[in-house]
Amino acid sequence: MKKGKRDSVPKIVVIGGGTGVFTVLSGLKKYPADLTAVVSMADDGGSTGVLSEEFGILPPGDIRRALVALAHADHRILSELFNYRFDTGGLKGHAFGNIMLTALERVTGSFENAVDEAGRLLGISGAVVPVTLDRVRLCAKLEDGTVIRGETNIDIPKHNGALRIARVWLAPAGRLNTRAASALAEANLIVIGPGDLYTSLVPNLLIKGVTSLIRRSRAMKVLVANITTKWGETHGFTAADFVRTIEQYLGARVLDYVIVNTSRPSPERMRRYRNEHAEMVLPGLLSASPTPVFGDFVRHRGFVRHDPDALAAALMKLVTGN
């Protein structure tokens, strides 16, 4: 582990949201590590958006995914229940876990208490922490000057998705959750990604105090570049573009490593992604800093996403040296 005397079990903080956080956490939980997921609170679509609007709670969707990722194997049915999504009736489109977190917020008196209680129910290995306890809204300015307001409108573009995003910001700006601050300050390894670049990763860096804590931290900092591009966010991006964008918000020479996939799934597996204008993320013109870590990180069947075990093995090798 990096710089100075550390505990034998590494303290690892994973920053992000969506399925990316689920992927990396589900792999890392198999190792002896003190895990904390610091999760974006910018989501405003689907079941999450409806519950946030109607009940005034913080968005539960990304929190739910992180909780399920860290759930104990003995709680398989509960994990499946948390991810169960109603497909008929008045609850159509809602995930049970989102409703559960909404109810727990009412019972326990706060969203943070609700997350903790859900974690106890699921027997999670680690902690799940909202990056902010404030309600925030994500905004983006495109390269043509168009301003898009709301995470869903960025994530599912009604505009030309080939246009690049010039910058994103939060309105209003959120305050850093003190528990997230403590986790970042004590970390041995800080992992950013994988996940949707502008709607899952960067929103965490926009919370005041996050980037300064990461820059000051003695922890190893690793960016996990995505496997595929995303229409409306990262169309045409290489791994070098992911590094450049994160450094735009985090600062240069802060990241120590970038994990880059070099394997290529079959054309058959990629067909559905091409219909969504998605392509494999190529390395691009990466520099020596951050140090690239190349490898086969793609699942060999199903969705073209990171293999949790391969990704976790690479991260643990970096932080432990073994």
216-228 residue pLDDT tens = 999 999 999 999 9
Which of 91, 110, 130 terminates a domain? The answer is 130
Contact 175, 151 (CB under 8 A): no
pLDDT tens profile 95-111 = 999 999 999 999 999 99
pLDDT of residue 3: 44
Q: Which residue has the tokens 């559960």?
A: 100
Is residue 264 very low, low, confident or very high in pLDDT (cuts 50, 70, 90)? very high
Residue 137 lies in a domain: no
Residue 162 lies in a domain: no
Residue 118 lies in a domain: yes
Whether residue 301 sits in one domain with residue 257: yes
pLDDT tens profile 129-157 = 999 999 999 999 999 999 999 999 999 99
CATH number for position 250: 3.40.50.10680
The radius of gyration of the chain's CA atoms, rounded to the nearest angstrom, is 19
Residue 275 lies in a domain: yes
Distance from C-alpha of 275 to C-alpha of 309, rounded to nearest angstrom: 28
Whether residue 65 sits in one domain with residue 23: no
Whether residue 46 sits in one domain with residue 32: no
Whether residue 310 sits in one domain with residue 184: yes
What's the number of domains the chain is made of?
A: 2
pLDDT of residue 1: 56
Is residue 122 very low, low, confident or very high in pLDDT (cuts 50, 70, 90)? very high
Residue 225 lies in a domain: yes
CA 133, 13, 68: angle at the middle one, nearest 5? 75
Whether residue 272 sits in one domain with residue 186: yes
Instruction: Pinpoint the alpha helices (H) of the chain.
Output: 18-28, 46-55, 61-70, 76-83, 96-108, 111-122, 151-155, 178-186, 202-205, 210-216, 239-250, 267-274, 308-320
Residue 81 lies in a domain: yes
Q: Give pTM, 2 decimals.
A: 0.94
Which of 93, 112, 130 terminates a domain? The answer is 130
Residue 125 lies in a domain: yes
Which of 65, 100, 130 terminates a domain? The answer is 130
* Residue-range definition of the domain harbouring residue 87: 42-130
Whether residue 287 sits in one domain with residue 190: yes
Residue 83 lies in a domain: yes
